[in-house]
A and B are shown apart, each in its own frame.
Chain A
């Protein structure tokens, strides 16, 4: 068996997230070098602040300023920073209880080495040069042995509060489609379409995924299907997709390739859109260098009988 295919797969998502009143005040405060907490009904101050009490689920809206200095409650030395983390040089992850707060904030501590870090040590915020209203407006913490920082007197009201953040993320994968789909993709290189037959119900699935969804058993017997097929159903697309160089209206269809027991979907060309019909016999049209048929066009054969494809609708 040839090697299983592999390819890089990058998933990136710049989620735009809106903020509630407390989160908005907190992140706007960071932009203005002010740290805000929220007071619970039992008098505790939560930093970072949340909009609902984690114990009672009460609405929390009473903002209170806390210090930009604080105390490490626990730490972990990160000798090999990873992509996206606050510092590119070795640093300590820390939970810091800021002066005036009853809970701790997670961030990074810039320190020369693990011997320079201990629980209970005093630290202060190092502000980022450019601040936008995000947790990364705190560049990191740094060791600090001075007096507790003075408060700015902020009320939590700011001009031009931030209403949202863009939570950008990127994850890198190596995608492998597995044995069955590797065989399918490799066959397309030779402009052939290969499915797999279920040993139990004898149906031929294309593209094959290595399992029969009806019987729940592995499939292994390869079967070449097509190249011709029958349109089982279709729709007319009237809205142009972004970055898609196909004139509308066009037809998108389910096509039962000869010998297959599952319909594939593809675009239909070579015929006016309003003349496509169920039962139309079609064949693939390949373009040079393509890895799958560009579209399917009529073969000129008589239409297939409904009974020939009704099970595949």
Chain B
């Protein structure tokens, strides 16, 4: 059975440097209510719920189970969780809807980076035998990739700076973004990356609702149909990979059908300016494509939600009639290790 599945609603929080006064579920709940309100659905109407988050951000085991209080998990619901960005939870929900077991799905994800030191926390996702004992932080690894790009002649420091500037300038139109407007490029964090090349560290949450076929049309006047979605992973060891390229992104895009026809809009999850260079190349995006009108991850990068936000932002543009065919990309792991690409389309108006 093939079914058409669409993103029918999207909501996100403001992304903030700290949210001490809120527990994770307290941060998440307004987003859940907002996305449900947009469709008129109640928790009990949802066929499948899938979430993405990471215990390492909170420093507590099974912290995601507490967030389930926010979805009304009693009486029991059909539910799943991925220890990843919510874009991968969306992928699981999409496959669930494809099977016909459910007609609607609620996908949410959240991350509070503020309790810990994110650069240190992220070292724990690295190879525990050869890499993690050296504690290379997330900026250091991205900086190795940036230098490789500079050495290859793919970019230079001023071109990277321009990416950061453009992202934060367009983010002035995105009230949810954490960094907006004119900001100094700043000092080196790990050379060649400066503050302006790096994402802000922040807390935030996002949610989308997926629906299949006729149900999607009932819930949304212009559903963002998922025409294709795929995710791929690179070799584990950084030294095995060509850091100037992202073959996993290219393959995911190919399998998602991204190259069959041009897209007009792309939301790329590029936490570092240098990674936008890699992704534009892998996805063959030229200047005719509007890239990261939201400001992208350089303006707001809530861990575990930023990838789902990319899908949501792309879908919302289709909902509003501002895009007809959009590409959304999400990443996870160091130096674009894992990549997901979705192609979304609105019906002709």
Given contacts A6-B20, A179-B26, contact A54 B134 (CB under 8 A): no
Asked if A76 contacts B144 (CB within 8 A), the reply is yes
Name the residue among A77, A93, A212 with the largest chain B CB count within 10 angstroms.
Answer: A93
Closest 3 CB pairs of A and B: A178-B23, A216-B72, A104-B239
Contact between A17 and B26, CB atoms less than 8 A apart: no
- A-B contacts, 11 of them at CB < 8 A, read A77-B143, A93-B136, A167-B133, A175-B59, A179-B22, A209-B25, A211-B26, A211-B29, A211-B70, A214-B74, A218-B26
Q: Judging by beta carbons under 8 Å apart, are A9 and B59 in contact?
A: yes
Known A-B contacts A54-B236, A135-B129; A76 and B134 likewise in contact (beta carbons under 8 Å): no
On whether the beta carbons of B135 and A74 are closer than 8 Å, the reply is no
Contact status B237-A48, CB under 8 Å = yes
**Contact bitstring A41-72, B, C-beta under 8 A = 1, else 0:** 00000111010001100000000000000000
Contact of A134 among B133, B191, B193 (CB under 8 A): B133
User: For chain B residues 56-106, which have a beta carbon within 8 Å of chain A?
Assistant: 56, 58-59, 66, 68-75
Residue of B nearest to A140 (CB): B134
Chain B: interface residue total (CB-CB under 8 A): 63
Interface centre among B24, B58, B144 (most CB of A within 10 A): B144
Task: Given A107-B134, A136-B133, answer yes or no on A169-B72 (Cβ-Cβ < 8 Å).
Answer: no
A136 touches B134 (CB 8 A): yes
The answer, yes or no, to whether A230 is at the interface (CB within 8 Å) is: no
State the Cβ distance, B344 to closest chain A Cβ, in Å. 28
Residue of A83, A172, A212, A213 with most partner-chain B CB within 10 A: A213
Cα distance, A37 to B189, chains bound together (Å): 33
CA distance A292 to B202 in the complex (A): 34
CB-defined contacts of B143 to chain A, threshold 8 Å? 76-77, 93
Number of interface residues of A (CB under 8 A): 66
* Contact yes or no, B116 A95, CB < 8 A: no
Return the chain A residue nearest B124 by Cβ: A169
Enumerate chain A interface residues (CB-CB to B < 8 A).
4, 6, 9, 11, 15, 17, 19, 23, 27, 46-48, 50, 54-55, 73-79, 82-86, 93-95, 97, 103-108, 114, 119, 134-136, 165, 167, 169, 171-181, 209-218
B148 in the interface (beta carbon within 8 A): yes
In the bound assembly, the distance between CA atoms of A23 and B144 in angstroms comes to 25
Check if B7 is an interface residue, CB within 8 A of chain A.
Answer: no
Q: A103 is contacted by which of B21, B56, B239 (Cβ under 8 Å)?
A: B239
Q: Which of B74, B117, B132 contacts A169 (CB 8 A)?
A: B132
Q: Which residues from chain B contact A85 at a C-beta distance below 8 Å?
A: 134-136
For residue B299, give the distance in angstroms from its CB to the closest CB of chain A. Answer: 23
Question: A48 — which chain B residues lie within 8 A by C-beta?
Answer: 130, 237, 239
Residues in A neighbouring B70, C-beta threshold 8 A: 211, 216
B120 lies within 8 A of A82 (CB): yes
Query: Are B23 and A179 in contact (CB-based, < 8 A)?
Result: yes
- A172 close to B72 (CB less than 8 A): no
Q: In the complex, what's the smallest C-beta–C-beta distance from B169 to chain A, in angstroms?
A: 27
- Across the interface, B191 reaches (CB within 8 A) one of A47, A76, A86, namely A76
CB-CB < 8 A to B347: which residues of A?
A: none
Q: How many contacting A-B pairs (Cβ < 8 A)?
A: 190
- Using CB atoms and an 8 Å cutoff, list the residues of chain B in contact with chain A: 20-26, 29, 32-33, 43, 56, 58-59, 66, 68-75, 114-117, 119-121, 123-124, 128-137, 140-141, 143-148, 151, 188, 190-193, 235-240, 243
Inter-chain contacts of A9 with B (CB < 8 A): 59, 115
Looking at the assembled complex, report how far the CB atom of B304 sits from the nearest CB atom of chain A, in whole angstroms.
Answer: 16
Docked CA distance A15–B124 (Å): 12
Q: Are B144 and A93 in contact (CB under 8 A)?
A: yes
Q: Is the CB of A79 within 8 A of B188?
A: yes
Given contacts A212-B69, A216-B29, contact A135 B144 (CB under 8 A): no
Residue of B nearest to A79 (CB): B188
Q: Are A46 and B129 in contact (CB under 8 A)?
A: no
When distances are taken between beta carbons in the complex, the residues of chain B under 8 Å from A134 are 133
Contact A211 B25 (CB under 8 A): yes
* A213 close to B23 (CB less than 8 A): no
Q: What chain A residues lie within 8 Å of B123 (beta carbons)?
A: 84
B26 shortest CB reach to chain A, Å: 5
- Nearest-CB residue, chain A, relative to B66: A209
* Alpha-carbon separation in the docked complex, A84 to B121 (Å): 12
Tell me the bound Cα distance from A15 to B123 in angstroms. 15
List of A residues within 8 angstroms of B22 by Cβ: 178-179
Among B25, B66, B72, B129: residue with most chain A CB under 10 A: B129
Given contacts A4-B20, A211-B70, contact A167 B132 (CB under 8 A): yes
Whole-angstrom distance between the Cβ of B97 and the nearest chain A Cβ: 21
Contact B124 A171 (CB under 8 A): yes
> With the chains together, A50 CA to B121 CA distance in Å?
25
With A171-B59, A171-B117 as given contacts, are A212 and B72 in contact (CB-CB < 8 Å)? yes
CB distance from A306 to the nearest CB of B (A): 22
CA distance A217 to B23 in the complex (A): 14
Q: Are A173 and B115 in contact (CB under 8 A)?
A: yes
